[in-house]
Amino acid sequence: MPTNKFWSDASLEPKRQHRWLLYIGGEPIAGSTAGTVGIPTYVVKKVDKPKFSVNETTHSFFGHKFYYPGNVEWQEMSFTLVDPIDPDVSKKLYDTLISGGYGAPESQPVSTVSKNRLVSAFGNIITLQQLSPANAVLDQFQLINPWVKNVEFGSLDYESDAMVDITVTIRYDWANFSLIGG
């Protein structure tokens, strides 16, 4: 039976939901290619951490079923941004779409969005860092080859004075997790 319980030891600290930074198209990975998006960390309001699932294969034998793990599939990830006037995050996200190869029908009759160009616009890596109470990086996820799958530019309402939120869903090939410190 463990003798240390976090609720009785003041030196133990759990990770908290409000201590994190999301880097989109820029810092902090040395050697990574900075993208053209460059969304500041302070406009990121909420983020879902990466998640994966393991597919299964079933084998039936004499009326019994046996299950075996299959391929790993990384799930889509979403984050919510506040849309400031400067820098205009809506414009940055739209420019990402243009960088990916999209062209409106009046200017480009055939529009082909390229994974390579979309990934390059995001800088090839998105980094999510979880922070300690002293703002030291505890751990981080690096999302490899991220690209914008869905953007919701928010809602407008004459009866609200709330900030405009943008919800972005990204697809990525895989994530690397690393412990940094503590």
- Dump pLDDT digits (tens) for 71-130: 999 999 999 999 999 889 999 999 888 888 888 888 777 778 888 888 888 778 899 999
Find where tokens 């983020």 sit.
47
The answer, yes or no, to whether residue 70 has pLDDT greater than 70, is yes
The C-alpha atoms of residue 5 and residue 9 are separated, in whole angstroms, by 6
Identify the residue with better confidence: 3 or 34: 3
Find where tokens 């690096």 sit.
142
Tokens of 51: 């998640």
Q: In what order do the strands lie in the sheet with 125-131?
A: 20-24, 125-131, 137-144, 174-179
Amino acid present at 143: L
Average pLDDT (34-45) is 76
Average pLDDT (144-164) is 94
**What is the set of domains in the chain, with CATH numbers?**
20-49+73-179 (2.30.110)
Amino acid present at 85: I
The C-alpha atoms of residue 124 and residue 31 are separated, in whole angstroms, by 11
State the maximum Cα–Cα separation within the chain, in Å, rounded to a whole number: 70
10-21 pLDDT per residue, tens: 777 888 889 999
Torsion angle (degrees, nearest 10) of CA 60, 66, 72, 78: 100
The candidate with the shortest Cα–Cα distance to 147, out of 102, 179, 86, 82, is 102
Average pLDDT (42-67) is 95
pLDDT at 25: 76
Q: Is 89 helix (H, G, I), strand (E, B) or coil?
A: helix
- Angle of CA points 39, 47, 177, to nearest 5°: 95
